[in-house]
Structures are given as structure tokens and as C-alpha cells.
Structure 1
Amino acid sequence: MAMPVPGLEDGTSEDPNDREGATVEETFELFSAQAPKGWRVELIDGEIYVVPPAKGPHEKIVTELVEQVIARRTDKELRNSTGIGLHLPGGNGTLRVIPDLVVAPRDSFDAPREWHAPDPVLLVAEVASPSTASRDRVLKIRAYARAGIPVYLLIDREADEVVVCSEPVGDDYTHKSLHKLGAEVPLPAPLGFSLDTAAF
């Protein structure tokens, strides 16, 4: 659901898409600039989403995921990034998202900009929570596939499963494998290792 950023100077509590005279992109920029530290503001298919700072269980999974990628990756030039903003093509204007994890070659995000092109990205991962699950399961699959990101890893705690999406074509992935949370989950190249989700 679209939500206003708490703590805006004018104290607004209205839907950000209804701000008089402002485009969605302008409103998004305003919210991004004024969001409290730790909050994520994303623009997906013309809607602005505001996500509060992650809670402990979410961060535990992201940390474990990062550590496993570092320890098990076959290509030692790959790097993990958290908090990186991606500027994606969209069916309804551009999208701006901040995945829980981005894996890309070293130096891919050296440019001092807030939003980066997805071209070097090899894998994005999202850890779904009750407030983000519907977007992670549907909207972000379309967005990441449309951007040509080779692998989308969805760790869905609510559904108790891990989904590995690969081989993007159009606005979907042609290959999706579902695994029970707690299982060994094989990741396709260029990661090329099994993720131990028992630690999640």
C-alpha cells in the first residue's frame, strides 16, 4: 500500500499521489529527501511505497545471506551491496527500488549517484515481510525481469519458502524453483552454489 513518509515538515498525512500540482516523480523525490534515516522510499508502477527500518529477524536473514555469498561465491570479483538504489525501466514510467541485497561485479556502483542502472546486476534478493510480501511476490518479479536482472531470489518468511527466479524474458522469469525454507537452495550461475537456508 502507498503510505506517506512520517515526519514531513508540512505534517501531511495524505496519499502522496494526491499532492496538488506535483507529479508522482516529484512527490517521490520529496519523500525520498525527507524520509527519516533507515526508511526506504520506492517508486513502483506509479505508486510510492514507504518501508520502515527492518526488524531483527529480517536483518538476521540479510546478514546471513551476505555472509554466505561472500564465503561461497566462485567468482571472487563479485560484491554484495545493501541499500543500493536501482533505476529500472517500467511499464508505467520508471521504477526506483532498493533491494535487500544486490550482487554485482566489483566497482559497479562507484559513481556517486543515488540511483544506479541495473546493467551490471547479476542477482537481487528480497526478504519478504508481511508489509512488503505482495510487492515482492508480484510487482518486483515483473520489475526485475523487465530490467533483465539474471536472478531474483525471494526469501518469503510468510509462505515459508524460497523462490529462485532466473532466465528473464519480457516482464517475467521463465524459470522459477520453489524450495521449503530451511532447505539447501541451489543458485544458478554466476553464483553457482547452494544457499543453506537452515540458518534463516
Structure 2
Amino acid sequence: MTVMAERASSQLSVDMFERIAEFAGREDETVRFEFIDGRIGLKKVTNGNHGAIIMWLIRQCMRARPELDLNPLQGLKVEAYRRGRARPDGVLAPVDHFVGQGDWAEPDGVLMVVEVTSYDSDTHSRDRVEKPKAYAEAGIPVHLLIDRDHRSLVVHSNPDPAVGYRDVHTAKLGERLTLPDPVALVLDTEELRQYAD
């Protein structure tokens, strides 16, 4: 579940957000903080099915691309001019890519970000609109959205900071899906059908 808090356009800086997120994260480990499109997002720790989807994808990536890590904890600087802060459900990058980068890493060198929808009131705006736009503005080559509501996988590729991702492909859970370069991974998603609820 995510709760978004509106802000006045110039009242909260990225530096202030990072301090709030660091302090609050130490006080309550059941939420993760994001700053997308000028709003603070409080993202509750995921449920078992959500976590099972991420672990399934981590195993697929490790088998097919052992030179890469799918990190479920790394925060990224996103949006135009890196003014946003996102905590994707997974960030695919070369092994040890994030060593020494801290909580909020630059997106340069990231091959793919992964999001899994949650069952909350702002999933549509956050996961299907705001985050794809922020990831495209940051130039991340591939964004994979595992959409449990629609029982589908949506692959965004060919980012254009001015318009978002130019290529969007949707597959149903259970189908084989090829993730484009630079990920170059084929997923048989039949197993994911059991985790969609």
C-alpha cells in the first residue's frame, strides 16, 4: 500500500526529502519512501505474493545473466535532472554496480527497473503513469511492470525523456516474454500466474 502526500511546488527539496526518508526509515522499517513527481510516497513492505514474484525474477536473472544483479533494495535518482527518488521493486545492473553509491544511486548503467503492482488506491497513477515517466526521463533502457490487477507484464523500452517510453509491449501472465536489449532475457511466465492474486 502506498500513500502519496501532496506538496507545495517549492516547499520540499530533494535534500530535505532524503533527510526525512533516512530518519523515518530508521524509525519504521515497515515502509519505504519515494519522491516522485514532487510528492512523497510511503510504500509499505510487500506481501508474500509480491515478494515471491520478485524472488522468481531474481532467480531467472541469476540463471540467464549471472554477470548481473537484480537488486530489490536500491533507490534511484530519477526524473528529469534527477530530482525524483524511486525505490523500484528491482533494479538490474552489473554485479557490484552500486557499491559505494549509497541509498540513492545515479541511474547510469542500470539496464532495467522492475515494478510489481500493489493492491492500493494509487497503484494506477503511481505504477502505470508516474513511475514509467520518471524512469524514461532518467534514461533507463527497460522498465518491466508486472501488473497483478490486469494479470499482465508490460515492457517499456526505448526511453525518450521528452515523451516517455516509445515502445510498450504487453504480454499476459503465462506467456513467454522476451525482454529487449540490453537485458536480452527470455522469461517463461507460467509460474507467475500462481502469484498474481
Answer whether TM exceeds 0.5 for this pair. yes
Distance of 2:145 and 2:191 partners within structure 1: 15
Deviates more, 1:150-159 or 1:171-180: 171-180
Are the counterparts in 1 of residues 2 and 43 from structure 2 also a CA contact under 8 Å? Answer: no
Q: Which residue of 83, 94, 104 corresponds with 2:73?
A: 83
- CA positional deviation for 1:112: 4.8
Q: Which has the larger displacement, 143-152 or 29-38?
A: 29-38
Matched with 1:98 is: 87
The question of whether the paired residues in 1 share the 8 Å contact of 2:75 and 2:103 is answered with yes
* Aligned partner of 2:19 among 29, 46, 67: 29
Confirm or deny that 1:57 pairs with 2:41. Answer: no
TM-score normalised according to structure 2 size: 0.85
The structure with the largest alpha-carbon Rg is 1
As a proportion of its length, which structure holds more helix?
Answer: 2
User: Structure 1: which 4+ aligned runs deviate by more than 4 Å?
Assistant: none
Indicate if the aligned counterparts of 2:141 and 2:182 stay in contact, CA closer than 8 A: no
1:114 to partner: Cα distance: 1.4
Q: Deviations over 1:167-190 (max 9, x none)?
A: 111241111111011211111123
Q: 1:84 is matched by which residue type in structure 2?
A: Q
Q: How far apart, CA to CA, are the structure 2 residues paired with 1:135 and 1:161?
A: 17
Partner of residue 158, structure 2: 167
Shift of 1:90: 3.2
What are the Cα deviations for residues 35-72 of structure 1, in whole angstroms up to 9, with x where unaligned?
A: 31141100001100101110011001000011011112
1:17 equivalent to 2:43? Answer no
Aligned residue pairs total 185
In the TM superposition, what whole-angstrom CA distance separates every residue of 1:97-152 from its partner, at most 9, and x where no partner exists?
01111111122100151110000100001001122343110001101111110000
Task: Judge conservation of contact 1:28–1:48 (CA < 8 Å) in 2.
Answer: no
The C-alpha deviation readout for 1:150-173, integer Å capped at 9, x for no partner, is 000000000111101111112411
Q: Which residue identity lines up with residue 176 of structure 2 in the other structure? A: E
Query: Any residues of structure 2 matched to 1:1-200 within 5 Å, and which?
Result: 3=3, 17=7, 23-25=12-14, 26-27=16-17, 29-35=19-25, 36-73=28-65, 76-90=66-80, 94-131=83-120, 132-170=123-161, 171-200=163-192
Native 8 Å contact 1:16 1:27 kept in 2: no
Higher strand share: 2
Runs of 5+ unmatched residues, structure 1: 5-14
Which of the pair has the greater relative contact order for Cα pairs under 8 Å at 6+ separation?
A: 2
Alpha-carbon distance in structure 2 between the residues aligned to 1:193 and 1:46? 34
5+ residue gaps in structure 2? Answer: 193-197
How many percent of aligned residue pairs carry the same amino acid?
Answer: 37
Distance in 2 (CA, whole Å) between partners of 1:3 and 1:81 is: 23
Instruction: State whether residues 109 and 116 of structure 1, in contact with CA within 8 Å, keep that contact through their aligned partners in structure 2.
Output: yes
Q: 1:22 to 1:29 in 2, by over 3 A?
A: farther
